[in-house]
Structure 1
Amino acid sequence: MTAPLQGRKREAARNDGAILAAARDVFLEDPKAPISAVAERAGVGISALYRRYAGKEDLLRTLCHDGLKAFIDAAKDGDDMNEGWDAFTTFLRAVVEADVHALTVHLAGTFASTPEMVADAMRANELVERLVARAHAGGRLREDFVVADVTMILEACAAIRLPDRRRSAELRRRYLELAIDGMDRDDADRLPGPPPDPAEMNWRWAKSRPGPA
C-alpha cells in the first residue's frame, strides 16, 4: 500500500494537477496563449509552474503525451474484450469520453516530440490496427473501413465544442453513435472517395519532430 503524500509533496502534487487541468483548458481555448495564463488559471505562481516545466513547449508535450497514454489505455481495455466489434466500439467510446483528440487537433505541430512519445505513438497505431482487424475478422465492420478512418472520426467528434462542457460531451456521444452505425457492415453502400493517405494524416505533425534523446 502506498503511503499518502505529506506536506510539501502533497501540495506539489496538487499544484501539478491544477497546472495540467488549467493548461488543457487554456490551450484548447487558445493554443497561442502565454504560459502565464496557465499559472493564473491554475491559481499558482509562475515560479511554481516553472519548477515543474521548463516552458510552454514542455507543458504542451506533457499534455499531449498524457493524452496519448490515455488513448493507449483505452485501446488495451477494448482489446481485452472477446468479440471484435465490441472491442472496437468500446475503444472508440472510451476515447471520445476522455476527449483525447481535442488536444491532438489544437496542439499538433507546436512542440518537439521525444523518442518515448514516438514509441508510444507507434504502439497506439499497432493497437488500433489490431482492433480494426479484429472487427473486420468478426464480419461486422464494413469492408471499406480502414485504420486511418479511426483518426478522422475521433477528430470529428473532438471538433464538437460548445461553451457548455456537459452538452459538448453529450453531442460527441450522439455523433459517435451515428458514425458507429455507419461503420456497420449492414450499410453496404460504398463510401465516397478514397480513405486518407499517410501524407494527409501526418502533415500536421511536421513540426513535432523527435527532439534530442
Structure 2
Amino acid sequence: MLVVDLDGELLVPLRAVEEVLLCLGLWEYEERQGPAADVEPLRLPAPLADRVALDAVQRLLTALAPTQSLGAGRGRLFAPDGCYEHAPLTALTMPAADIDLLSATAAALGHPALDADIAEVVDAHAGQLGDTYRWAGRAGLVSLLARLAGLLDLAATYDTRLLIARLRARPPGTDCTLSEAEEAAYARTADRMNRMWALGSGIDRYLY
C-alpha cells in the first residue's frame, strides 16, 4: 500500500483512540479483579474487549509513525521537470486484519447503542482532535478512524503498483524524479486519497 506523509495528521486519531482504549482496558481489568456487587459489570463490545482493538491500533501506530514528517533526509519526490515537489509517499505493508479491526473499532465507538459511560470516555479523549481538525468529539473521532481505515485499505491499481515499484527501486534517502507516466499515476492516486481521507479537499499534491 501507499501511505501519504501528512506531517503526522494521520497519527492524531490513532493516538486519541489509543488513549480511549487504554482507559477502557484498565476499566475492564479492574472490574474483572474486583467487580462491585451493586454495579452492572462493564461489558465492552467486540473488538473493544480484551485489548483486541488496542493491540491493533498500537501496531498501526508503530507501522505508520515512520511514514510521517519525513523531511528531506528521507528523499524527496519531484515532478518530471523538477520544478515542484510532491507530498511524500511510502510503500508499506500492513496486515489487512489490523485495518479491518480499525474499521470495526470505528463502528463500535460510533454505534448509537454504545454504553453511555463508554461514550463519555470517548468524548473526553476525542477533545484533543480540536487542535488539528475543525471538529472534535466522538462523532469526529469515529469519522476520522473510518476514513483512515478506508485510506489504508485503498484498492491496489496499476497506478499504485507503478508508484510502489518506483519507490522501492530507489536507494534509501535519495531524491526521485517521476516519469510522465508516474506523474499521471501520482495525480490519480492523490485524487483517490483526497476523496477518501479529506472528502476531496485536503491532500496537497505539491510542496512549493
User: TM-score, normalized by length of structure 1?
Assistant: 0.31
Greater relative contact order: 1 or 2 (C-alpha under 8 angstroms, separation 6 or more)? 2
In proportion to residue count, which structure has more helix?
1
